């Protein structure tokens, strides 16, 4: 059985970032507060700080994701770390090397931190339990399970625009069933004290017993968007779908795509978010994605600062 929280040491200090589940609010706020200081760094002419100089950080992406890998690489380089990108999918594993064999080889190369993305849920947990002390593991997405840094940058974005969590209604709309982002967001939002988290989706795109996560379930956008402060649109993950979950993309957009008309149902100052990449005309209308309530591009910018914060905290440094 997987240890549910191998990410904290005996002193409750963060050693790995694997999931939002089980992390105390104090640690989430520590990461968000540290990220605030790094936003200033990313806006300077010289965007480098020496906190991780001499550290070796390996991007282990067993599953492709240009956006996530690139933001981790930029974050590590801005902390002055040495960054190594390994295209695992077409190298070691294709030659028969196991996941833990790969990790053992990187440990022998004196890796300090492993950024892991894998199609199998629990892969990052397995690696974290296997590595020697002093090597830190960050989960950059595992199967349908978790994507903690995406959730953290979303929490950072929400706090930037809404200041507080305790008075918000947040709606997560779309493919909840296949989304590791949604699971991480729900855990983070509830931990940080958001009083009402809604999920809006057709029944075919909701996991069974999702209510147990503490969310309010809606199948109708017109009802679910009423008086919402934050809208999080999710990508339809067709690559993870088995069987017919939807009649067509056009039908999905008709009922669950975010249009200017549907956005009017939310609060006038509501913000629109999307973890990306977006399918315009499927989950979101271009006029909304590019509109004044959209904070989708700031999410990407804040993602660098948040990932800098996570890496610096794991390495025992804060600015």
Name the band, by pLDDT with cuts 50, 70 and 90, for residue 4: low
- What pLDDT score was predicted for residue 96? 53
pLDDT of residue 243 exceeding 90, the answer is no
Strand-pair category, 230-233 with 216-218? unpaired
CB–CB of 170/158 below 8 Å?
Answer: yes
State which of 39-53, 98-112, 192-206, 230-244 shows the largest mean pLDDT.
192-206
Domains of the chain: 25-146+300-314 (3.40.50.1370), 148-295 (3.40.50.1370)
pLDDT of residue 316 exceeding 70, the answer is yes
Burial of 36 (0-12, 13-18, 19+ CB in 10 A): middle
- Chain segment 128-166, per-residue pLDDT in tens: 999 999 999 999 999 889 999 999 999 999 999 999 999
Q: Which residue has the higher pLDDT, 265 or 88?
A: 265
CB–CB of 299/275 below 8 Å?
Answer: yes
Tell whether residue 130 is among the known ligand binding residues: no
- What pLDDT score was predicted for residue 99? 84
- Chain segment 266-311, per-residue pLDDT in tens: 999 999 999 988 999 999 999 999 999 999 999 999 999 999 999 9
Name the band, by pLDDT with cuts 50, 70 and 90, for residue 89: low
What's the 3-state SS for 8-20? Answer: ECCCCCECCECCC
Q: Which helix (H) or strand (E) holds 102?
A: helix 99-108
Tell whether residue 67 is among the known ligand binding residues: yes
Tell whether residue 204 is among the known ligand binding residues: no
Share of the chain above pLDDT 90, in %: 73
Name the band, by pLDDT with cuts 50, 70 and 90, for residue 90: low
Tell whether residue 235 is among the known ligand binding residues: yes
- What pLDDT score was predicted for residue 6? 81
- What pLDDT score was predicted for residue 238? 57
- Chain segment 185-211, per-residue pLDDT in tens: 999 999 999 999 999 999 999 998 999
Tell whether residue 163 is among the known ligand binding residues: no
Tell whether residue 276 is among the known ligand binding residues: yes
CB–CB of 216/196 below 8 Å?
Answer: yes
pLDDT of residue 3 exceeding 80, the answer is no
Average per-residue pLDDT in the chain? Answer: 90
Question: CA-to-CA distance for 319 and 299, rounded, in angstroms?
Answer: 22
Name the band, by pLDDT with cuts 50, 70 and 90, for residue 241: very low
Quote the distance between the C-alpha of residue 271 and its chain's center.
18
- Give the contacts of 208 (CB within 8 A, at least 6 positions apart): none
């Amino acid at each position: 059985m997987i240890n549910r929280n191998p990410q904290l040491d005996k002193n409750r200090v963060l050693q790995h970032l694997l999931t939002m589940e089980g992390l105390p609010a104090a640690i989430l706020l520590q990461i968000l507060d540290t990220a605030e200081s790094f936003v200033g760094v990313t806006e300077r002419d010289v965007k480098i700080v020496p906190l991780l100089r001499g550290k070796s950080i390996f991007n282990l992406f067993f599953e492709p994701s240009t956006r996530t890998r690139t933001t981790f690489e930029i974050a590590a380089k801005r902390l002055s770390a040495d960054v190594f990108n390994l295209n695992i999918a077409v190298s070691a594993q294709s030659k028969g090397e196991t996941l833990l064999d790969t990790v053992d080889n990187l440990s022998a190369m004196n890796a300090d931190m492993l950024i892991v993305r894998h199609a199998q849920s629990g892969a990052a947990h397995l690696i974290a339990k296997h590595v020697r002390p002093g090597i830190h593991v960050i989960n950059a997405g595992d199967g349908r399970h978790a994507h903690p840094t995406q959730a953290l940058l979303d929490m950072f974005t929400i706090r930037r625009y809404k200041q507080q969590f305790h008075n918000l209604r947040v709606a997560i709309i779309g493919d909840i069933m296949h989304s590791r982002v949604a699971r991480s967001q729900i855990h983070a939002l509830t931990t940080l004290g958001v009083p009402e988290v809604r999920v809006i989706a057709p029944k075919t795109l909701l996991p069974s017993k999702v209510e147990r996560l503490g969310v309010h379930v809606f199948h109708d956008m017109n009802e679910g968007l009423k008086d919402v402060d934050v809208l999080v649109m999710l990508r339809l993950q067709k690559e993870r779908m088995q069987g017919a979950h939807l009649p067509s993309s056009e039908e999905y957009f008709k009922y669950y795509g975010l249009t200017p008309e549907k956005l009017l149902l939310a609060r006038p100052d509501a913000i629109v978010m999307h973890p990306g990449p977006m399918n315009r005309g499927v989950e979101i209308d271009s006029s909304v994605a590019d509109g004044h309530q959209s904070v989708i591009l700031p999410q990407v910018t804040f993602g660098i600062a948040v990932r800098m914060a996570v890496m610096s905290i794991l390495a025992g440094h804060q600015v």
